[in-house]
Structure 1
């Protein structure tokens, strides 16, 4: 954690920027009528295009990447691509609140994986704080959970996407120990985009037959939740535990639900607002306990 102290940057500010940015993801996806696999593909590949002019500056680092790390980066990218594919598709069948609330299972998966892979232990206070935050997040989407029909399908898709992003986060923690955020993010996004492109090719989905509005949505997804969201979280993996970064993502259900209320006209209840406050308290307690340094 010494590197964190040397950077002299306000980590909480970057956490807040990342949470707000990823909260817009659900809104942008709802604005698009394109298939989820196409939305996810262009979101990632457009991000690569935005990053491409700066790639030459990292040529020496890229030349030193070992085969083992290339394989781990590829798997991380594939997992991220599957996360986007399943989670975005879930929004076609269930509400924003329900879909994003299921994402609260991510820190549990990451915490378990971090213990098994890296021997990372968590204090009892942090575990209690995690439970508080997860209860709050689940309560935000509880009224929208349905256990049959399309809503159930959407919830299951969101669950699969959650498991995939947990794997991506765990691999990223190890790779970021000796790989810059830019290089890691560029190739993870590239591998994820390629997986989605292959999926679209084999399913016969059109690559180009979309209205100008759709291309605008693709670009918004690339800039806001990907660059200012996922890239920022990849950067933070160098200075924070993977479980802590995952916990901050729990702010997305609250942010997305508030944005859906103001922009999409979805309802939000007093219980959901109170649950949001409980979520924030839990996240704050967890970070304070888990990131003491």
Structure 2
């Protein structure tokens, strides 16, 4: 059986995705618009950018079963919930704290993948994950406070992490039987619709925002979404959801550095040390997961 390989080395694509999603928290911090509005336009503009290239996938869309459409809608709902909670968390806590908590995503996915897909991890991979998670604690340790706002932000980030973990696991199942581009487009449209309903019900205005905000909405669509989330969805054809989510552990490092340079959020020694641990754990995990990548990708291509 021929094993499908990506046209560009996976580590390079992962690096591009990590840098792209690291800008997400910066753009969100720069915006004063409600999180639900940011999320709605981020996904809507991304969908509009994708639509002109969707025609080759029309036959695949018509071939989808009712169960597939329900799962796509559910995945879109969970993605919208993720953005609503995580973007909202950045209004109350720092970039380092919020992205550190988001790094717990592989823990939820590893557990969920084992329960749903019987996907096992080697001891070395688990060790790498543990080192990286320990590093994320260092990153956010000097920034987590005991105020009501910080606690609220931390809890919102936890909720957003659970939501995106579910979204990723559903995505792993769906991209095994449909093009990843079509999956991303339908999910983004579904999520933007969820946001529109939410904003309408909450009485949040759709258009009353200055030019700066519209520019941020566009940047959110292009940088972290196209070169981040879409890229990660595409990579699900070649590697497992656990591996993809593990690479997102690089986001706290990139986001914390960008927050220091662009927002003036200072990093202490513990946070720098945490960044080194995260990248070290990531390297251990990727090295340990080399032998797993091939059968995992094969399983994704042959799943019913």
When the two structures are superposed, what TM-score results if normalisation uses the length of structure 2? Answer: 0.94
Partner of 1:117: 116
Match of 2:206, SS? coil
What is the Cα deviation at residue 2 of structure 1?
A: 5.1
C-alpha RMSD over aligned residues: 1.1
Instruction: List alignment gaps of at least 5 residues for structure 2.
Output: 295-304
* Other-structure match for 2:85: 86
- Cα separation, 2, equivalents of 1:77 and 1:236: 18
Q: Give distance in 2, aligned partners of 1:54 and 1:249.
A: 27
- Between the aligned partners of 1:62 and 1:288, the Cα distance in structure 2 is 37
* Rounded Cα–Cα distance in structure 2 between residues aligned with 1:247 and 1:99: 16
Partner of 1:155: 154
After superposition, what is the alpha-carbon deviation per residue over 1:3-62, rounded to whole angstroms, capped at 9, x for unaligned?
Answer: 443x44211111001000000000000111100000000000000010111111211111
The answer to whether the 8 Å contact 2:141/2:270 transfers is no
- The 3 A distance-change label for structure 1 pair 132 and 217 is same
Q: Which moved more, 1:197-206 or 1:272-281?
A: 272-281
Residue 65 of structure 1: SS of its match in structure 2?
coil
* CA displacement at 1:243 relative to structure 2: 0.6
**Paired residue for 1:287?**
286
Q: How many residues are matched?
A: 292
Q: Which residue is 1:135 aligned to?
A: 134
What is residue 302 of structure 2 aligned with on the other side? Answer: none
Residues 67-116 of structure 1, C-alpha deviations (whole Å, 9 max, x = no match): 11111111111101000000000000000000000012110000001001
Look up the match of 1:15: 14
Counterpart for residue 257 of structure 1:
256
- The secondary structure found in structure 2 opposite 1:153 is helix
Give structure 1 stretches of 5+ with no counterpart: none
Q: TM-score, normalised by structure 1?
A: 0.97
- Report 1:216-255 matches (<5 A): 216-255=215-254
**Residue in structure 1 matched with residue 68 of structure 2 by the alignment:** 69
Match of 1:106 in 2: 105
Distance in 2, matches of 1:231 and 1:55, equals: 14
